[in-house]
């Protein structure tokens, strides 16, 4: 039971970090592309980008919380 909880915790944190990295890359690249097409919309696009990045960054935080729950379930 203990080893499986450690593997589950590692997978939860790893996939959360991977997903956040990909998501942040897409958000920032599309924002830069939008600013290049319409420079006058820079402020609006940046504000929306910051909100999107904050929401994407919630994913690894949830993964870490799940890892702590898995560790607690393992009795460590």
Cα separation, 53 vs 57, whole angstroms: 6
3-74 carries CATH number 1.20.20.10: yes
Distance CA 25, CA 57 (A): 12
CA dihedral (54, 13, 62, 59) positive or negative: positive
Tens digits of per-residue pLDDT, 22-69? 999 999 999 999 999 999 999 999 999 999 999 999 989 988 998 888
Domain boundaries, the chain: 3-74
Predicted pLDDT at 20: 94
C-alpha dihedral, 17 to 21 to 24 to 26, nearest 10°: -140
Residues 6 or more apart from 38 whose CB is under 8 A from it? 45
Residue 1 — very low, low, confident or very high, per pLDDT cuts 50/70/90?
low
């Amino acid at each position: 039971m203990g080893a499986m909880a450690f593997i589950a915790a590692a997978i939860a944190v790893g996939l959360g970090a991977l997903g956040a990295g990909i998501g942040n890359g897409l958000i920032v690249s599309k924002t830069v592309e939008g600013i290049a097409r319409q420079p006058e919309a820079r402020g609006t696009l940046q504000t929306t980008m910051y909100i999107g990045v904050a929401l994407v960054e919630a994913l690894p935080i949830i993964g870490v919380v799940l890892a702590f729950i898995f560790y607690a379930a393992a009795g460590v």
